[in-house]
Amino acid sequence: MTPTDPIIRLENVYTAYEGSDRPTLTDISFSVGRGEFVVVGGPNGAGKTTLLETINGMLPITHGTATVCGHDVRNEGVRVRCRVGYLLQNFAFDPLTPFTVEEVVLMGRFGRIGLIRKPGKEDHEAVEKALHLLGIEDLARRPIGHLSGGQQQKVLLAQNLARDPQVLLLDEPFSNLDMFARESINKLLSRLVASGIAVVIVSHAFDDLPDCRVRVVVMHDGRISLDRECLPADVGQVDGRISLDRECLPADVGQVIRHAGSAPCYA
């Protein structure tokens, strides 16, 4: 792929869970360039997480084509996942998990070094850099299961950064984080986007976004109902729920808004 090619490209993609005839995504055409920040919203069950799982090669594609970092998602899923960081929603470690923070972050390198080769200097440097970027160097030797939910969230983000991804997929990355942690991570995301990493997040907190140009994608019932680039000032908040300025909303998404339960909000 050339530097100008989309780093994520989905064309007329349909997906379905194994054993089901009902599509989970329907006719999705979606592309993301290098250094682009995309936030995906919509009502519960709209297909937001499913979209991330499809990009990461975790769901079978029944129709259409999908490429990530120049690799076919259907046939080269392992290669795709080696180049993509994926932060799961509300993942929590058991308090008895027998790994330190440093060891968990090092696991982000396994896609590059495999399970047999011993981590080298480059791998440990990547871990140190990721811990520093998240400001959690002091937690390196702590058992992961002893940390708070917000601290674990930062560790998992550090794990994804340690793999040196070209794409970051983040599912509700601001959950369990206080205001100061959200602000810190937003600044980090802005730097990552400026460095050329493509960031796609699912979020119910449209007011907690980096101060950069944002592309808003709204999903409903497994389809993309809105795909619009906005300036930070165009993204607002109403009653603590996701909303967009009226100028940022085309007239044809009124039905989607009503389905979400409150115009002009997405819940």
Supply the CATH number for residue 63's domain: 3.40.50.300
Q: Is residue 77 part of a domain?
A: yes
Average pLDDT, the chain: 84
pLDDT tens for residues 39-64? 998 888 999 999 999 999 999 999 99
HSE, CB side, 13 Å, CA atoms: give it for residue 158: 29
Question: How many folded domains does the chain comprise?
Answer: 1
Sign of CA dihedral 54, 57, 60, 62: positive
Q: For the chain, what's the residue count?
A: 267
Range of the domain at 226: 8-91+165-266
What values do phi and psi take at 17, rounded to 5? -70, 150
Helix (H), strand (E) at residue 179: helix 179-194
pLDDT of residue 15 exceeding 90, the answer is yes
In the chain, the N- to C-terminal Cα span, in Å, equals: 37
Q: Which helix (H) or strand (E) holds 263?
A: none
Model confidence over 212-222: pLDDT tens digits? 788 989 999 99
Which of the four pLDDT bands, split at 50, 70 and 90, describes residue 180? confident
CB atoms within 10 A of CB 224: 21
Look at residue 223 and tell me whether its pLDDT is greater than 90. yes
- Compute how many other C-beta atoms are within 10 angstroms of the C-beta atom of residue 119: 14
**Residue 145 domain-assigned (yes or no):** no
In a domain, 15, yes or no: yes
Assigned token pair, 36: 């682009």
**Is residue 105 included in any domain, yes or no?**
no
Identify the pLDDT of residue 241. Answer: 39
User: Is residue 115 domain-resident?
Assistant: no
Position 14 in a domain? yes
Global pTM value: 0.84
Q: Let me know if residue 114 belongs to a domain.
A: no
Provide the pLDDT for residue 235: 57
Q: Which residue has the higher pLDDT, 103 or 242?
A: 103
Domain-located, residue 103: no
Sheet containing 71-72, strands listed edge to edge, beginning at the edge strand earlier in sequence: 25-32, 8-15, 61-68, 71-72
Distance from C-alpha of 55 to C-alpha of 18, rounded to nearest angstrom: 17
- The tens digit of pLDDT for each residue in 107-127 reads 999 887 776 788 899 999 999
- Percent share of the chain, pLDDT over 70: 83
Which pair of tokens denotes residue 103? 């060891």
